[in-house]
Structure formats: structure tokens, C-alpha cells
Structure 1
Amino acid sequence: MPKKRHNNKYSKPPSVAPPSLALSSSSRATEHHERSVNQLLAEMRRSSVRQNGAQNNVAAATPTVPPSIRQILQIPETPAPRPRRAPRRDANGRRAPPGPPPPRSWVSLALSRHAPKELQSDAAGHIQHWRLPDAYVPESGSLIDLLLRRLARDWEQQREWNQFYLYTLPSHLRTGLLTYVAEIYEPGLSIKDIRLILTGPSEEKLAEYDVDKPDLNILNGDIFYLDLAGSVGKSLTLRELSDLLFPPKVVVEQPDLQDSWETPEPIPGPVRMLPNLTRLSLAIDPEHSSNVSWKQLLLLANKMPTLTHLNLSGWPEPSLTPNAKLARIISPVTGRSVQYGGTGPYSHNLDNDWVEAILILKRLSKALYGLEYLDLTGCGDWFPALMKTSDGDFTVDYIDWVGDWGKITTLRLYSGYALTDDSTSAQISRFAEWIESATAVGKHIRTQRSGKGRWITVDKDTLSESAEAALTTRQLGELAWGDAV
């Protein structure tokens, strides 16, 4: 029988290019495959030398010959290799890690006018304010972020044009707008701006345009945090904030009750602007530290026992009479000159006296007994007051981290500054003192609780390897100088 023939419909594609393509590229492909990798690299180097001329010092991969034979054969001299770049050195003369230097924004926070004098001379950085936990922060570069930034930049006009619309925004957008205005708007956030965003225009303007007055319990019932970082002490005072959040009670004359079974209607009291506020940021810039008052803070704290998160970044050392540190009076009893205020110019440095600071912080802890988060960034100069004890009137005063502030689980004790490669040894030494003081505070709190309270996390700065080496070098130099003397 004859064999059946099967025409295969599908077959493996040939590994050889078709003749139409082979005719056009056969010579080029053959030449390309015949050359080795070294020959290709050598040709690339020659072409780069021809293109750049004398500016390119990359040597071609040509064999070298003795100078005498080169002169006889008239071979051009091989170009000298490019000189090596000098290794980068840090401020202490040590070799920096390989690779390009890090961006300035990674090393230091920014060049600031808010830094202390000893840190400001070399622009070591500015104090950084941390956002409140769980606060609404739009993603950087998003549409909402761009819109809020634009509103904050044009705030002088926006608060006039959109005064009837700002308070109708969702609560998270209004609180975010307050934060952006406090950070971006140069004059700062005023008490009128806060009232406009949270409650709307005044009653007279609402009545003029026949707009109903909003119910604050419904309008602001879902606002739990308020970030005023940078505006307190600059364009806003704690007295104004206290009067806004807790308006004074209005005395209303009650009518005479008649003999009847009908009970009088209840007289409504003042409406709180933020009835559910639990997180508050009162961070300040160091240049405005003289405009804040611990006395006003204590008065405000007594009205907010439900506060759970508080930010006091940049606040000065606790004192009720900060302007009387250098003042002295004549005692009418002894006739001697005595210190007027509770803290003198040498109380902390020489006498190690923290009595006034401890008493103020103790009163604050009793008022804010529900705190779970406390941010004291930039307050490194009075960190010792958090763990010191004082004897006065036959009693020992100290901050109770087990009872009054036993609920605090997060304590931020950052310095607020960042060291750079240009930082001096004195700046590194002060930075290390802040870290050492924060570490001691954390150990003191854990020792005081010792299983009686919640576990606490103390966030603090860390020294880099280069900073630790510079600090060790300075300490060894001081020891050698002392031995020589």
C-alpha cells in the first residue's frame, strides 16, 4: 500500500534567517560576531578619545612599547590616565565612606535662624516639630496637599473670599488646613483664623446673609486633635486659646418660680468649641519662648483633664517668673538681698536647684493625669527636672511617673537639632549631653515604675560613628591637657 503523506501544519521555526534578510545583513552580522569583546571595548575607547580629543584622558587599550622604539616608529605617546579624585574628608579629618556625599537635606534639617547661638554659628539645623499621632496628613504631592498649601500661601485673601465655605469642609480637611496655615503662612495662625475655620463667620455676618448658625456639637464633634505648632507665642497666646475653647459662663437671671408643678426650662450654658478634643500641639519656636507663660498653661491644663496627647516642643524651663531671674529684693525681716523669683541665674548650673521647675511640672501632671503621649523635643536644657527631687517644707517633691503620669507610654526627648560634617566638637559635646540626659530620664522612669505601671518608650537622638569618634578625641585631649597641667 502506498504510504500516507501528512502535511505538518505547525513546525519548529528555522534557526537560520531567511535569505531575504541574510543578503542585506550577512556581512555586517559576520563582522560583528567575528570581533571579540576586548576588540569592541577597544574600539569604543578609541571613538571616545577621538570625540573628546585632549579633554578625555582615558587611555586606549593599545600595547605599550619602550620610549626608544616609540621614537623610531613615530608612535604617539599614550595619554596619561586621569588623576584620581582626592578622597573626601569629614570635619575631623577621617576618610568619608565611598560614593557621592549625601544631600544636605539628609544631613541637616535646614539652615535656621531658630538654632541656639552655639549651634547657629555653623548652621547646624533648626528645631523640628513632630506631628501628633494619628493626625491627618495628606500624602506629599497629592491633590489635597497641593490645595491646602495653596490655600495657606494665599491665606490673607482666602479667609475673606471663602469665609462662608471654609467651616463647611470636612473636619479632617479643616484641621489639616489649620496645620498648613500655622506652618506656611508667615504671620502665623491667629485666634480669628481658628474661629473662622472651626465656627464660621460672626453671627452678624451670618444674619446679614440669612445663614443659619451651625451647631458646634455636630460641626466639631469629630475633631479630636488640634495642631498649633509654630503659632503659639508668635501670633497666638494661651489666654486667647483658653477663652476660645472654654468661653466664660454668662450669668443669666432666673425668673421667680411660682407655686406650680411645672419645672422651669433649663438654661443652656456656654457651648464648648471642641467638645471631644484629646490631642493638642503647643510647640513653639525657640525665638518666641519668651512669649509663652507656664502660668497660662497650668490654667488651660486644669480645664482639659481628658487630654491624652500633648506637644510642648521648644518650651523654656518651667518658671512662673521667667523675667525675674536676675532680680533681687531687700528682705524686710533680715535686711539682706534675696532672690526675687524661684529660679536664679545659677540655680541649675551651680546649685543644681530645680525646685520651681519640679513644682510646676508636678502641678501639670496632676492636672493632665490622663496623658499617654508627651513630646518635649528641644527642651534638653531642663530634662534633669524630670527625674530630680527637691526638699522643701519638710516634704520631698518629685514628678510621679507611677500615679499622676503613670499612663504615659511614649515620651519624646529629642534635641530638635541635627549634627552635620561641619559641626564643632563643642556642638557635638552638647548634643551628647542631651542624649545622656534623655537616657538617664528613661532609666529613672523605668526604675520608679519597676513593674507597677505601663511600659514607656523614650525616643531620643543617637550619635553617629563620626560624632562618637570626635567626642572621644576631645575627651582624650582634655585628659591629656589635665595631666600636663
Structure 2
Amino acid sequence: MPKKRQYQHLKSFKPIAPVSPALSSSSSRGSDSNAPAKGVNELLSGLRRSAAGSSSASSPHLLANGPSVHPDLRSILQIPDTPPPAPRRPVRTRFDASGRRLPAGPPPPRSWVTTRGQDVDLSHRMRGLKLKDAPSDHNALPGAYLPGRGSLIDRVLRAIASDWEFQRAYQQYHLYFLPNHLKPALLRHIGISGGGVTLADLKLILLPPTDLYEQGELEADSHTTNEVSYLDLSRSLGRSIRLRDVTNFLVPPAPQVHDTHLEDSWDAAVDATPSPPRALLPNLTHLSLALSPDDAEGGSWRHLLDFASKTSHITHLSLAYWPDPCLAPRAQTSKVTTPQGNKIYYGGTNFYSHSLDHDWSEALLVLRKLSRCFYELEYLDLTGCGSWFKALMLETEHDHVDWAVHWGKVTDLRLYAGFPRQEDMAAAEQVAFAEVMETAALVERHIRHMRAGKGRFINVERDRPAT
């Protein structure tokens, strides 16, 4: 018997009777009861769609796009006027006046932009002021390493020096491990921009923290101070440290041995001579002992001679703004009474020795001893020492500076006045500047005459006449 075919793809044109609302509601309840419950995310998305639909329906933009009504009919039917369309969003500029691309997103508030601009201008002005007031590098010793001015390392070292009171306590266990070529630069910035380098600062930077390591643990460490060849104590002597303390720190005195044990025989006596002390900086060749121009009384020539006798390998030395060579500067006004009742000056130099008496004997004696100790000197900076430039070329009996033998290796000599020449200078300052400039020229001529044909050529840096 043939099967009955059902053509489901053919639609029936039989009209469908309308379903009553009661049946439809009951059927919907039954279907809803059988349907699974909606999740939270589905309910939230439905609420968002309904809110968007209601807002779009009440939006004036959609009403503005609706069919328009003639104005006469609108007035008769009292239909409100159609609101005008909203203005278009302005096209946002992508680049500023300088051609730089602006960041994405809405522009910042006006208050933010104004305040930030003022802060940036203030920071730029302060940065320029700090770099302007910061010590320049033209008076640094040649051959010594200093970071490039304005570089990242230079700014970091200057920032550490400006906040040294905090950094010396917070970084006390890390300063020793600073690279050796950066330690002199840090000491220089501390001495010039801060209150001066103290003996405790030298110990923090040049000595390892002994309370963190056991005895002998750091001996195998390759991080030593043998690579330090430059020590800059500019503007620190007399303010925060004494040269005698520096000498005892760099070259500690030999320990005294008190052996009270008596040997039975002289032949059995053991040689108890202690070995000479080891210098902390054995390769030190560049040394800056420049004083502050405002306080030039911190230099002691007696301590300098003691230091020179223990560190004769110095090749570059700066004695800028040092006072007149004198072994007892505090005794310049002191007088003693002789058995005959006469009063004489206690020291070898008084206030009138150089100006009225033209007595430079003590200054020549000090310079002769200094030249014999620093016999390897190649560079000497005497900026601001114009009051005793004349002692560099005078000779009293056997006391004089021998520029051909003792200081025959000196090839660079700085003889600047130490203060800038200005048009509005006082008359006394102009006369003093002219005398210093003339004396420096005479010293240069004297040295070249002494070395004629038997010494190195010397370059004397001095002030030149205005052209």
C-alpha cells in the first residue's frame, strides 16, 4: 500500500483563528514556567537594552528626525516646535602648535594645564639656576675624570651632594661600593656645594663598612681604593677638615711598639722595627687643596710640608687662594722681649715684611722646602695667590725656587688673579689687578730665562691685558 506523502514545504493558506488573550497568557505562563531561569548577566543586558531604547525614544535627536508638520497646522493643533538638531562634535586637533602629536582622549581640564605649565616653567628656571650656580669644571685638575656637565651621572652626583646630610646616613653602607672613578667627583661636589668634606665623609667613601664584614672577608674583594688617583678637597680645608687629619688618614703613623721584655742575650734579640705604614691611596697623583675665596685662612703651610714629605708622588696640585707662605701665621702680630729689653716679632713674618721691608726670607724658605718634596710636580695652580707671586722669582742667599731642577718638570702654571675683571671695579681693585697681572708676566719671563736651553717648556696661564 503506498505511503502517504506529506509536503511540509508547502504552506497552508487556511486562515488561523485568533487566539484569545487568556489562552495566550496562560500558554506564556506555561512556557515561562518550563523555560530555565535567566541569569544575572542576561537580566542586566536586558535592562541596558530597555534603558537605551527609552532614552533613544525620548532623545531630541530622534524627534528632530521625525516627520515635520506645517507651521499652520502646528499652531492649530498646538503641537510644540521641533527642537533644533544638536551641533556636530568639533573635530579634535591631533597636533599642537609645535607639531607634536597630542595624546588620545579628551583634553585635560584647564586648571590642570595652567598649573602644570607654571610648574614646568618654574622647574626649568630652577634647573637653569642650579646649573648656573653650580661649580664649573674649568678649575678642575687636568687629567682627572669628571662626568660630563649636565649628564645623568653629573646630575645624580650633584643631587646627592645637595642632600648630603640625609644621604650620608641613609647610604652609609653603600657609598664605599661607588665606582672608584666617581668618588673624587662626589667629594668635589660635596666640598663646593655643601658644607665641606669632613673626616667622617672620607671614611664613609674610602673605607669599607667594617661592622658588616668579618675580619679578612674584604681582603679578597677586588673593590679597593688603589684605582683612586684624584682627591679633591676644594673649599673644605679650614671649614670642615684640617690638613693634619687628612695626612694621618691617608698615611697613618706607624704604631709605637713598647717591648718591655728583656732578652737573655743581645744576640737573641729580634729586630722589632715595624714596617712602614701602607698609604690608603698609593696611586694618588692629583690633589686639590684649594681654599674658599671668602675664607683663605684655613691653609697651614706647616701641615702642608708634613703632608708633602709623605706623598712626594703628587704630579698635579692646586693651592688656589692660599695665604702667604708662613710657618707661624698667628704669630705675625706677636712680640717678645729680649733680655736687653728690646721687643721683636715672634715669627719670621709680620704685617710689614713684604710691603715695607721687602723681606721674603721665610716665604722663600717654605717654597724651597715644598719644591724639594714635590719634585715630580707637573701642574701647579696658584689662582688667587697674587699677594705672593713675587716669591716665585726672588732669591735670598740660598733660598729660592729652582724652576730648572726641583720644579723642572712643571709644564703648566696657573697665575690668575682669582677675581673677574669688571668695568665698574673700584680704583683700588683695578690697581691690585694690574699689579697681579704684571707680576705674573714677570714670573713667566723669569722661569723661561732660568730654563733657557736646559729645561722643559712651561705654559703659564695668566690674565691678559684687555684688547
TM-score in same-fold range (> 0.5):
yes
Corresponding residue to 1:446 among 441, 445, 448: 448
1:121-163 CA deviation, whole Å, 9 max, x = no partner? xxxxx99981011111211221101110111111111111111
Q: Measured at CA, do residues 251 and 211 of structure 1 come closer, stay the same or move farther in structure 2, by a change above 3 Å?
A: closer
Q: Alpha-carbon deviation of 1:178?
A: 1.0
Output the amino acid matched with 2:327.
Answer: L
TM superposition shift of 1:327: 2.1
In structure 1, distance between residues paired with 2:186 and 2:197: 10
Could you tell me how far apart the structure 1 residues matched to 2:391 and 2:460 are?
16
What CA distance in whole angstroms lies between the structure 1 residues aligned with 2:264 and 2:329? 52
Cα separation, 2, equivalents of 1:451 and 1:432: 31
- The within-5 A match list for 1:207-286 is 207=213, 212-213=217-218, 219-251=224-256, 270-286=277-293
**Which residue of structure 2 aligns with residue 146 of structure 1?**
155
1:331 and 1:128, CA in 2 relative to 1: closer, same or farther beyond 3 A?
A: farther
Q: Give unmatched runs, 5+ long, in structure 1.
A: 1-109, 112-125, 466-485
Map of 1:342 onto structure 2: 348
Detail structure 1 runs of 4+ shifted over 6 Å in the superposition: 126-129, 253-258, 263-268
Residue aligned with 2:156, SS: helix
1:345-400 deviations in whole A, cap 9, x for unaligned? 2111112111110000001011111111111000001100111112xxxx432111
Q: After superposition, what is the alpha-carbon deviation per residue over 1:147-189, rounded to whole angstroms, capped at 9, x for unaligned?
A: 101111111111111112111121111121111111111x211
Measured after TM superposition, the shift of residue 429 of structure 1 is 2.0
- Where do residues 61-140 of structure 1 align in structure 2 (5 Å cutoff)? 130-140=139-149
Q: Is the 8 A contact 1:376 1:412 kept in 2?
A: yes
Residue aligned with 1:370, SS: coil
- 2:319 is matched with 312
Residue equivalent to 2:398: 396
SS of the equivalent of 1:290 reads coil
**SS at structure 2 position matched to 1:434:** helix
The match for 2:202 is: 194
Equivalent-residue separation in structure 2 for 1:225 and 1:127 (angstroms): 17
2:433 corresponds to? 431
Measured after TM superposition, the shift of residue 230 of structure 1 is: 0.7
Structure 2 gap ranges (5+): 1-131
Amino acid at match of 2:208: G
Is the Cα contact below 8 Å between 2:144 and 2:286 reproduced in 1?
A: no
What's the CA shift for 1:439? Answer: 0.4
1:412 match: secondary structure: strand
Answer whether contact 2:286 2:314 (CA < 8 A) is retained: yes
* CA distance in 2 between partners of 1:235 and 1:189 (Å): 6
Q: 1:267 to 1:295 in 2, by over 3 A?
A: closer
| Aligned residue number for residue 373 of structure 2 | 367
- The one-letter amino acid paired with 2:147 is P
In the alignment, residue 131 of structure 1 is paired with which amino acid? Answer: A
Task: Specify the SS of the correspondent of 2:460.
Answer: strand
Structure-2 separation of matches of 1:432 and 1:453: 29
- Counterpart in 2 of 1:422? 424
Structure having greater relative contact order (Cα 8 Å, sep ≥ 6):
1
Q: Given residue 417 of structure 1, which amino acid in structure 2 is its aligned partner?
A: F
Match of 2:307 among 300, 306, 312: 300
- Mean CA deviation greater in 268-277 or 164-173: 268-277
SS of equivalent residue, structure 2 residue 409: coil
| Matched residues, number | 334
Q: AA paired with 1:415?
A: A
Against the structure 1 CA distance between its residues 215 and 242, is the aligned structure 2 distance closer, same or farther, given a 3 Å change threshold? farther
Deviations 1:191-242 (A, max 9, x none): 11011101133x3x224x9993457995111111111111111101001100
The answer to whether the Cα contact below 8 Å between 2:288 and 2:318 also exists between their aligned partners in 1 is yes
Q: Which residue does the alignment assign to 2:46?
A: none
CA distance in 1, matches of 2:282, 2:331: 37
Confirm or deny: 8 A CA contact 2:232 2:289 kept in the other structure.
yes
1:346–1:270 CA distance, 2 compared to 1 (3 A): closer
Counterparts of 1:284 and 1:300 in 2: how far apart (Å)?
16
Counterparts in 2 of 1:434 and 1:154: CA distance versus 1, 3 Å? same
Q: Secondary structure at the match of 1:291?
A: coil
The question of whether the paired residues in 1 share the 8 Å contact of 2:403 and 2:451 is answered with yes
Alpha-carbon spacing, 1:327–1:274, altered in 2? closer, same or farther (3 Å): same
Of the candidates 154, 164, 167, which is equivalent to residue 158 of structure 1? 167
Report deviation, 1:332: 1.7
- Could you say what secondary structure the match of 2:226 adopts? coil
| Distance across 1 between alignment mates of 2:221 and 2:311 | 18
Q: Which of these residues, 349, 356, 364, is aligned with residue 362 of structure 2?
A: 356
Inter-CA distance 295–424: structure 2 relative to 1 (3 Å threshold): same
Task: Look up the equivalent residue of 1:287 and give its one-letter code.
Answer: D
Please tell me the residue identity of whatever aligns with 1:142: S
On the 8 A contact 1:163/1:200 being kept in 2, the answer is no
Amino acid at match of 1:156: E
Find the structure with the greater CA-based Rg: 2
User: What is the rounded CA distance, in whole Å, between the counterparts of 1:193 and 1:312 in structure 2?
Assistant: 22
* Percent identity between the two aligned chains: 43
Deviation at 1:459, TM superposition (A): 0.6
